[in-house]
Structure 1
Amino acid sequence: MKKLLPILLGVTLLLNSCIKDDMDACAGYMHIYFSYIYGGANRFFETVSTPTQLHFYKQKHKYRELEIAVDEIGLTEPYRFLKSFDDTDSLELIAWTQDEAIDYVDTPDTPIGEGYVKLKEITDGSGICRPVDDLLYGRIAIDAGLRENRNIVTIPFVRAVCRTRITMIPQTVEDQVVEEGGTTRAASSIIPSPEDFKFHLYGTRSGVDYNNKANADEVVLEPQCYYEESTGNVLTPWFGSFSSEGKYLKVNVFIRDEQVASFDCAPIELTSVPGNFIDLVIDGHYVKPVMQVRVNGWKVATIESNM
């Protein structure tokens, strides 16, 4: 007990000094919550499964960058830290969820708004990219007050991409055998595997800046495919496409690297709008395949292939 008395006395004196002499030495806590409102409820933790990058700006320049794992936060569990001398007065916080398909270009000296995220090309110079799975963006300006002030901040997130899915109802493909004399006959009927299919989506941009504004670079998205055993269809997972910015969507379909269909969405003025859901279902049973277009669950058109 005698050994504890000096320690307790020292702590008491330290607290008194903090309160009476130098309030700037008493750090308050900043509590940061994450919110993505969809359907009237906070869906952030249902939507996000990857870490979140959080950037802190003061006088338009970044002074801190954090990576926050999903298991560090919750609906009622904020990310919390002791404020430093930088965490005072007017601040801006910008946040992105992470996705391996994009590069985050933002050095410590980059002024606010001049950083950006951009899709990686499958092959350098090809202009063809894998899309993101999803991407959320959040931004808020706060007055953090003095260092000893406690701050409770909720960052409102929006979806920075349009969620898109492509489904192909395949037609049976016949293997062709060349006989003597140059004639061909069907040897067998097979269903192509997902590796045989390739979808190219045109009319979207390669990225957005830290103001959530799309850039001017148009790219081709090539999402990966999988086979759905219950239906026999080949489809992509839901993926994210950046804003069209005045361009209309177009879908080209390839089987074994041969283009077999092309769907131009300009007649229905279909564009990629962040926050929307576009579901494209291609039926390959017709002589000219047709594509059914649904936006946010509503059927808006059926388009016939140009080929």
Structure 2
Amino acid sequence: MAVFVTPSTWAEPPPRVPSPAYLAEAKGFYRPEVQALFEQAYKAERRGDFKEALDLFEQALQRDRDNDVEVELGLAQLRAGNYLQAARHLDMALVYGHRLRAHRIDETYAALGECKKHIGTIILHPNVPDTRVFVGEEEVRDLWANHEFFVAPGKHIVKAMKEGYWMNQRYVEVKAGETAEVIIPMQQRIQTQVIGFERPLNVNMRGYSPDPQDGKPTWPKNLIIASVVGMGLGTGALAMGLVFRDTEDAATRRAWTGVAGAGGGLLGLSVIGLGIGIASLPQAPAPSVYIAPSVSNETMGVSATGNW
């Protein structure tokens, strides 16, 4: 197995360019067109033209998205001093390290460790699956495989977003060679609606109840009282259901429509009960009973008043 970069070469001077012997040994691992691009890239490196060399390595990776090709690009960026991009390519290759053939996993990890000395590492832990996380304007990909994200030293904005949750945003500062661990608690967005009125909404209904008299049934009076209370509750539920069902959320709309339906049904039954109670009353005048449901921007209630 070829030794591409060794730890002893990472201090001074920078990592060395592979020798022709390595190129000959690696021929069995790469496609011919990729091998040809590598040879051109190594020649460019030897004459000090790192920009041309990196362009050629990028072309090789576009031709073949192989893990070993990605390691070659990462190591070339390490030799050129582009530590951030080198770390990202080496890290991506190590996600599927079992597929490496031309490079040893321990040597690739060692190269990644050298890169980390010059950059910052942010470890991201969102508490909700499928959360989209951005560091600055860059979206973090493949959080399921690796929670590490490499950044330039300094202060960064971390944003986390998911449909149905509040956005989580914070600032993270990390220095070269340091690691910052960020726990991202996502809070579910609970939809609430507050309806404001210029004045409270009041509904008043009148029923009649006779004074209890000896020998006469009292059920008409009780039925009337129960009916007017039911009318108040039904009217309040119907009004609330009609007001609050005007929402874009389908589940909330169905729930408030059900409340309105139940309120309408209760109101209808109460009107029937009131009619039966009134029809069963003696012909003597009777005092009145008032039921007044009230809905405002802060409170809802039902009150019953009267004398008999």
Question: One fold, TM greater than 0.5?
Answer: no
Q: TM-score, normalised on structure 1?
A: 0.31
- Higher RCO, Cα 8 Å, sep 6+: 1
Q: TM-score, normalised by structure 2?
A: 0.31
